[in-house]
Amino acid sequence: MKLLHTADWHIGRRLHGFDLTDEQQNAFDQIEQIAQAEQVDGLIIAGDVYDRRLPSEASVAMVNQMLQQLNLTDQIPLYAISGNHDSATRLATGTPWFKATHLYLHTDLSQAFTPIELTDTQLFLCPYFEPFAAQQYFNDESIQHLDQAFARVVTEMKTHFDPAKKHLLVAHFFVAGSSTTDSETNLTVGGLAAVPTDLLADFDYVALGHLHGKDALHLPNARYSGSPVKFSLSEANQHKGVWIVDTDETPVKVTFKPITPIHDVRQITSSFDDLIASADDDSINHEDYVGITLTDRQPIPNVMARLRAVFPRIVTLGRAAGFESQVRYHGETSQQIQQKSPMALLGDFYEQVAKENLTSQQEKWARAALKQANEGGDQA
Amino acid sequence: MKLLHTADWHIGRRLHGFDLTDEQQNAFDQIEQIAQAEQVDGLIIAGDVYDRRLPSEASVAMVNQMLQQLNLTDQIPLYAISGNHDSATRLATGTPWFKATHLYLHTDLSQAFTPIELTDTQLFLCPYFEPFAAQQYFNDESIQHLDQAFARVVTEMKTHFDPAKKHLLVAHFFVAGSSTTDSETNLTVGGLAAVPTDLLADFDYVALGHLHGKDALHLPNARYSGSPVKFSLSEANQHKGVWIVDTDETPVKVTFKPITPIHDVRQITSSFDDLIASADDDSINHEDYVGITLTDRQPIPNVMARLRAVFPRIVTLGRAAGFESQVRYHGETSQQIQQKSPMALLGDFYEQVAKENLTSQQEKWARAALKQANEGGDQA
């Protein structure tokens, strides 16, 4: 059987204030196209369908449309779980009806132990859960941490193993030793909330959600699909996409299928002048989401607005080597500066920022304002 | 065919701060029992399933469970619409899958015109909509008010009428001439948002939601079912329940089936002493939600706590004839009172409220506090 493995759609997410609806819809369209081109027998969504437990109406409408498109229109079986960003309760809405069209969406730990029986494969859908939920389910207060809980869950699953079939697990956790990015919610507190890799050993494939990079984990039988869209600058160099999992092969064969963004997320380190001059360079995609690091050290008036005229989707702006120290620039000591008159200080400042002297009219306005401020001060 | 008509469940609603979960679950259980006892062919929910557009997780879990119970466990066809309290978008979750088990839940005006075809009846499910939605659907800017919008909607429905069948409409609106209670959201602004009764004339039965009393409207072919639970003191004298609609008869026959609350909502007018004395009277249900109107005119110390010891679910507390004027009680003019010392005023007040004089210790404390307050005032 061929299954498509994706996760971490995070519908409703924004990137430094920028709406990602179009990116997420575009990534979804590509996932649908890959599923059709590969003629997959099912599509796995390993949690975090939504970005928030309380999604907006727009996000709800989007997810409803996506699931309907895949399952009812394209008639692709769906195997999904809730992640730590989802509300299990809200996501459970409608699920008792979904099974009829092979949409399995597990949101409660109790659902993890009955596998979906495919021709050659048993598929265990284990939603994200807190150790407390396992404590309650197993009625065992000795279960305190995720590693203990997960060990019990796997032991219980194995009692349902059919030796004639392959065993796939869909789960949404931080697996020990994985590498993270800035866009994931940290689930590990002192290493207690990590799943040890040896607990995954008995599965032919573990389709993971939670971490946003496809290379976060290097195990022969377990993968994070990563998110279909870049959610932070720390993901700038990642390649987004989905895994095609072929259970006909032993070991299970996985192939990566890339997703191309409308607008990429990139880090740029350059001088201000070069960035402005690049406006006419058609080889540069100015519409990308960019984190800009300026190599300049001097102050640049109105820098964000001028850069946004060339790069409309700036998500961060920083300096490679900090600002020049303006005190040292003039070779003055702080004592010398303290002795200067307010008008002299204003003149110095204006010259540094604007690269020109105050005009006589500006000087006149400044003196008048200063006089007024001083008089106001005397009266107080 | 026999259909059960209910509406306005308002799951998540509270009564003056009291949680109504148990009442709502109990009313639901009775609705289910009536449906089974009457062997109905379907159950109509005429809008306002939820109390809020953004229901809590607990409310979502409750509604999910109720719909599952009726439709999947009891296998009762459901014919439902969204009301003005529901989020049409959120309520639409799962609906494309629900049809397979005859759960029809219409949330968009565009769904109103294709009737559900029953053996002898066409059922038009018209969700609550704003005139703007009709303006958009019909692409006609002349539609400004609900009466215009609803006229167009009915005209469009009639093009789908099968003359061999009866025609039922499920809708959620204020129908002109209906009587209201305090617990409904007012939809009428200058009468513009009311549906004129003549627009309902072509239907054999109109199953209405929105108003919370079953007797809100007196038309031969249209009924509000009312809410299954009392949501305000203004509903104290209402009888809650559901309608059983029999389409085999001409005209359609409707029968009321009552729902009994766990705790009723009642208005009590009585003296404080009689209420306290009633504690041992088993003929009085002290657990009811009560709005108490005291016939006493004098101040009663700690009145709410003392009454709550007998009636734990007091929702409002008022006075039938106001308070006695304490000024007139002593026969003093306000001028006389102004001339009294603070200690004399305090003594009078304490005597009126506590029905006894200040003890010498209390008087000592009061003098000390007064002295301190006066000295504090001098220093300021």
Which residue range forms the structural domain that includes residue A129?
2-258
Statement to judge: residues A65 and A169 lie in one domain: yes
DSSP string, B315-340: EEEEESS-PPPHHHHTT--HHHHHTS
Statement to judge: residues B210 and B173 lie in one domain: yes
Residue A140 is assigned to a structural domain of this protein = yes
Tell me which amino acid residue B59 is.
Answer: S
Write down the mean pLDDT value for chain A.
92
Residue recorded with tokens 């377990």: A222
- Give the integer Cα–Cα distance in Å for A363 and B214: 80
> What percentage of chain A carries pLDDT values higher than 70?
95
Residue B98: how many other CB atoms lie within 10 Å: 21
Residue A201: its pLDDT value, please?
96
Residue A328 is assigned to a structural domain of this protein = no
- Give the integer Cα–Cα distance in Å for A24 and B207: 41
- Give the integer Cα–Cα distance in Å for A363 and A369: 10
- Please classify residue B357 by burial: count the beta carbons closer than 10 Å to its beta carbon, then call 0-12 exposed, 13-18 middle and 19+ buried: exposed
Last residue of a domain, one of B234, B258, B282: B258
Residue A356: its pLDDT value, please?
80
Q: What is the CATH number of the domain that holds A29?
A: 3.60.21.10
Last residue of a domain, one of A235, A258, A281: A258
Statement to judge: residues A300 and A343 lie in one domain: no
Statement to judge: residues B158 and B296 lie in one domain: no
Q: Are A64 and B97 inside 8 Å of each other by CB?
A: no
Q: Which residue has the higher pLDDT, A191 or B256?
A: B256
Statement to judge: residues A349 and A277 lie in one domain: no
User: A137 and A110 in contact (C-beta within 8 Å)?
Assistant: yes
Residue A101 is assigned to a structural domain of this protein = yes
Residue A192 has pLDDT above 70, yes or no: no
- Give the integer Cα–Cα distance in Å for A268 and B368: 74
Statement to judge: residues B86 and B233 lie in one domain: yes
- Give the integer Cα–Cα distance in Å for B24 and B8: 11
- Binding-site residues on chain B for chain A (CB distance < 8 A): 54, 57, 60-61, 64, 68, 72, 87, 89-90, 92-98, 100-101, 103
Residue B41 is assigned to a structural domain of this protein = yes
Statement to judge: residues A254 and A269 lie in one domain: no
Mutate to test the interface with B, among A62, A68, A93, A95 (most CBs of B within 10 A): A93
Statement to judge: residues B128 and B269 lie in one domain: no
Mutual angle of helices A342-354 and A360-379, in 10-degree steps: 140
- Alpha-carbon torsion A164, A161, A89, B21, what sign? positive
Residue A327 is assigned to a structural domain of this protein = no
Residue B326 is assigned to a structural domain of this protein = no
- Report the number of distinct structural domains present in chain B: 3
Residue A182: its pLDDT value, please?
80
Q: Order of strands across the sheet with A116-117?
A: A116-117, A121-125, A166-172, A205-209, A222-224
Q: What share of chain A is helix, strand, coil (3-state, %, to 5)?
A: 35, 20, 45
Residue A253 has pLDDT above 90, yes or no: yes
Q: Which residues of A touch B61 (CB under 8 A)?
A: 89, 92
Please give, rounded to a whole number of angstroms, the shortest distance from the CA of B86 to a CA of chain A: 12
ipTM of the complex in this document: 0.82
Residue A23 is assigned to a structural domain of this protein = yes
Mutate to test the interface with A, among B63, B97, B107 (most CBs of A within 10 A): B97
Reported as a single tens digit per residue, the pLDDT across A306-316 is 999 999 999 99
- Give the integer Cα–Cα distance in Å for A302 and A319: 15
The region, left, alpha or beta by phi > 0 then psi within -120 to 50, assigned to residue A232 is beta
Pick from B66, B57, B72: nearest CA to A108: B57
Of B61, B97, B103, the CB nearest to A89: B61
> Can you list the residues of chain B whose pLDDT is less than 50?
190-191, 327-329, 378-380
Last residue of a domain, one of B258, B279, B309: B258
- Interval A59-79 mean pLDDT: 98
Reported as a single tens digit per residue, the pLDDT across B240-279 is 999 999 999 999 999 999 999 999 999 999 999 999 999 9
Statement to judge: residues A83 and A224 lie in one domain: yes
Burial A264-297 (b: 16+ CB within 10 A, else e): bbbebebebeebeebeeeeebebebbbbbebebe
Residue A380: its pLDDT value, please?
40
The four Cα atoms B312, B313, B319, B323 give a dihedral, to 10 degrees, of: 40
Residue A97: its pLDDT value, please?
97
Statement to judge: residues A57 and A6 lie in one domain: yes
User: B173 and B187 in contact (C-beta within 8 Å)?
Assistant: yes
Residue A265 has pLDDT above 80, yes or no: yes
Q: Are B100 and A100 inside 8 Å of each other by CB?
A: yes
Tell me which amino acid residue B46 is.
Answer: A
Residue B283 is assigned to a structural domain of this protein = yes
Statement to judge: residues B226 and B249 lie in one domain: yes
Reported as a single tens digit per residue, the pLDDT across A310-354 is 999 999 999 988 776 554 445 677 777 778 888 888 888 888 777
User: A23 and A262 in contact (C-beta within 8 Å)?
Assistant: yes
Q: Which helix (H) or strand (E) holds A160?
A: none
Measure CA of the first residue to CA of the last residue in chain A; give whole Å.
83
Statement to judge: residues A158 and A236 lie in one domain: yes
* Cα separations in angstroms, A217 against A166, A186, A227, A249, B238: 21, 16, 14, 21, 64
Q: Which residues of A touch B89 (CB under 8 A)?
A: 57, 60-61
